[in-house]
Amino acid sequence: MNQQHQDERARIREAIDRLLAGQATASNGSLTVVALAAEADVHRMALLRRHVDLKNEFYERVRTETRQTPETEKRLRETITKLKGTVANQKAEIDELRQLVTRLTLASAVLTQECDRQAERTPVPDNIVSFPRTTT
């Protein structure tokens, strides 16, 4: 590891300690990776790519030391809840549409049968040639 990398890691560890102590100096103090990056004066992508272990350590310490759920996890849980609701609504809509298709199919069969009966009862004039009906 080069010196710059080690300095970056040291700044991140110090920033973790400040955020967990509620003594933020360069960020809004929220317990997020964005605030951690601002507090440590590193780019957010550095935390997400080069220092994944420190990011995970930060979230683990947030859970254990503050007994809080990290903001990203809260947002993910809310999104999951919304998506589960959406899936349930779509399943209900699909069931409703399947029932509608069944009812429409039955109605179409009844109407076709009635048309056939009516055609059989209607006398055909001598000068009209009827085409054979196709059944589907």
The pair phi, psi for residue 21, each rounded to 5°, is -85, -5
Residues 6+ apart with CB under 8 A from 41: 11, 26
Helix (H) or strand (E) segment spanning residue 36: helix 33-40
Measured torsion, CA atoms of residues 72, 14, 45, 61, in degrees rounded to the nearest 10: -30
Residues 6+ apart with CB under 8 A from 99: none
Q: What is the pTM of this model?
A: 0.53
Distance from C-alpha of 98 to C-alpha of 8, rounded to nearest angstrom? 59
Q: What is the pLDDT along the chain (136 residues), one digit of tens a residue?
A: 688 888 889 999 999 999 888 888 888 888 888 999 999 999 889 888 889 999 999 988 888 887 777 777 888 899 999 999 999 999 999 999 999 999 999 999 999 998 888 877 777 677 777 777 777 6
Helix (H) or strand (E) segment spanning residue 83: helix 71-121
